[in-house]
Amino acid sequence: MSRAIAVDWTSLERVLLRLTDADIRRFASRHSDETFYGFAFDCNSKYGEIGLCLNTNRALRAQRKAPDPNAAFWAALDKKLNLGEKPNSPRDASTPQRRRSPNLRWSIGDWQYQGFNSKEFGQEWRRFHSRVLKRCMMEEEDEDTFMTSTQARFMEAVCRVLVRLERKGAFEAFNQTRDLNPRPTDGHVSELNGDGKIVHSGTVPLCSCEARPRR
């Protein structure tokens, strides 16, 4: 691997911690009248991209009441697979409206505040984004995880930063629910231990890592 595109992972974690902490404080000062239940790093590990995201229970309730934009697709699929409701039977969990609800809380694409990164964040992060992208383009994906070694290393670094943000009290800058849950997402599922190390991983959609709040 060329030294020209080596990634300084220690520096990446240090910069991500500093930039995120600053942007959280900046955002919190402008949204002091809102209470948040979740913070997420929305990551594209293949491109080294990270978006800062937040959502409130108030926004979540509104999202759950909103019509499912994919309702027609789910209805057509249910009909094709003969999964629709039977006469005089309770509503089945496979129907469009019920199918949409369970994961909506952590459906980052539906959150109210997506990618609230500052211009300063983007300018300083550009060098890491570029190097991660170039390394991934030179690597083969693992057949089991569908990730390159750089992608896996990138997500491990992001998970550690998330734990450090929580430990230093960064999320106390904004109003939060008692069960505030920060997590990074990248289309994979992983679990962290107390040191921010991934101890379990899989390839199901929605969440990559979860840093559970300390009790």
- Mind listing the pLDDT tens digit for each residue in 57-70? 999 999 888 877 77
Average pLDDT on 134-138 reads 94
pLDDT tens for 74-92 read 677 777 777 655 544 444 4
Helix axes 9-30, 149-167, angle to 10 degrees: 50
**DSSP 3-state assignment of 115?**
coil
The reported pLDDT for the residue numbered 52 is: 95
Where are the domains positioned within the chain? Answer: 3-64+107-181, 71-100
The reported pLDDT for the residue numbered 85 is: 52
CA distance 100 to 189: 19
The reported pLDDT for the residue numbered 211 is: 33
Which of 156, 154, 176 lies closest to 166 in space, CA to CA? 176
